[in-house]
Structure 1
Amino acid sequence: MSTAEVIIQVRYNPKGECIFCGEAPEGVSAQDWHNHLSNHLAIHALSGGRAAFYTTFEDLAKFKAMEGAKYEAI
């Protein structure tokens, strides 16, 4: 994999639910975006209820297309 150019920040509540996941397409919940990215990228756990995904701009554009994604309507 090429060098990561984009860092997508993630935050969780104390229950472990994703409450923020950066770069989410409009109309997609943080949890659904997190689930979609988790199917394609490794997640790097950080302290304090945080994590990060690392990717490239090209791959991020593909992920935002949400091809084949299953998510709940908001």
Structure 2
Amino acid sequence: MRKLKAGAWSGSEYEFVNYVRLAELRAAGRLVVETHRYGNTYAIDVTTSSSSPRPDGCRSCTWATSTTSAA
């Protein structure tokens, strides 16, 4: 599972996505949970792939693989 975040680009435990991508994942039924907090949207994607880079091209970004809730 992947921890996703749309909004402010802070925190190293998330894969950052834009709101359009988040809507695509939601429409495909891939989000198991979605939370709106601190002006951001946090979600869990059911896929296990971690190969997609951030939209700004950063490939050195990491995210946690645990299922802990978003802060």
- Shorter-chain TM-score bucket reads 0.3 to 0.5
Greater RCO, CA 8 A, separation 6+: 2
TM-score by length of 1: 0.38
Higher gyration radius (CA): 1
Higher relative helix content: 1
